[in-house]
Amino acid sequence: MDLLNKTILITGASDGIGEVLAVEFSKLGSNIILLARDPSKLDKVYDRLDNSFSSQKHLILQADLNLLSNESAHEILRAITEEFTCLDGIIHNAAILGTMTTLEDYELSKWDEVLNINLRAPFLLTKTLKSILEDSTLPRIIFTSSGVANIGRAFWGAYSVSKFGLKGLAEIFANELETTSSIKVFNFDPGATQTKMRASARPAEDPNSIKTPDALMDCYLWFFSEESSNSTERYFEYADLSKKVTST
């Protein structure tokens, strides 16, 4: 696939999977919009982005998704349209784990923060940025799922609830856009991956026993390919999609 001059917004781009995707997509000539809340981390990732192609340009959007509103979402829209003619993709990667505790003991303030970042923000950003995605020739929206989006598990609390909700949100957007838009919506569970969130959730796990974020790149490239345009599937797990990508 040709990713030269494609403009891709990545939330949670200052660390982990988001950082790796930003750097690797930039190496393929994409314009990267980095969105996260830590300005110092964003600056460090920005400095790592590739600028080998003369037409490339990248953008930092410092934003706290916990506080995202209609107004601030439209400010993000304006910032993007001032720099780019269209948006080719959104990768909803940003998420927080919250507290690993029983629902009975869950603090409401932390519950709200998890739901705001993991579910409310992707909803607001998608509905607000949809208009500039329509101007792309191959527009994509990729939501990030989790194994706890399918079966409720004790102690996973707000994180699990947010991923259940995000799966439904992705399905509804996909269904609504299926016959009215060229935007393809995918929901992707990257599975066990070496990230700070994974280490926090499973501190006893040997990180060397699971894949690094780099291993996910081929899956994300497939989402932005012509081949994925013909896919009737919307939900993918890494184990299955990686086999599909390898065989093609």
Q: Say if CB 231 and CB 138 are below 8 A apart.
A: no
Return d(Cα 84, Cα 223) in angstroms, integer.
21
| Per-chain mean pLDDT for the chain | 95
Q: What is the pTM of this model?
A: 0.96
Q: Say if CB 36 and CB 42 are below 8 A apart.
A: yes
- Give bridge partners of residue 31 from the DSSP assignment: 7
**14: which DSSP letter?**
T
Q: At what angle do helices 16-27 and 39-48 cross, to 10 degrees?
A: 30
Among 114, 93, 228, 240, which residue's Cα sits nearest to residue 174?
A: 228
Return d(Cα 11, Cα 179) in angstroms, integer.
27
Q: Is the dihedral of CA 113, 114, 119, 125 positive or negative?
A: positive
DSSP helix/strand/coil, 221? helix
Q: Which two tokens stand for residue 32?
A: 């990267």
Active-site residue numbers? 159
For residues 52-57, give the mean pLDDT.
92
Kindly tell me if the per-residue pLDDT of 68 is higher than 80: yes
Task: Sketch the domain layout of the chain as residue ranges.
Answer: 7-247
Q: Say if CB 190 and CB 148 are below 8 A apart.
A: no
- Of residues 47 and 248, the one with the higher pLDDT is 47
- Give bridge partners of residue 142 from the DSSP assignment: 91, 186
CA separation (Å) from 46 to 13, 33, 51, 162?
A: 10, 9, 10, 29
Q: What is the pLDDT of residue 244?
A: 85
Q: Which two tokens stand for residue 79?
A: 């910032």
Kindly tell me if the per-residue pLDDT of 214 is higher than 90: yes
Return d(Cα 22, Cα 222) in angstroms, integer.
16
Q: What is the pLDDT of residues 26-41, one digit of tens each?
A: 999 999 999 999 999 9
CATH of domain 7-247: 3.40.50.720
Of 16-20, 62-66, 212-216, 243-247, least confident by mean pLDDT is: 243-247
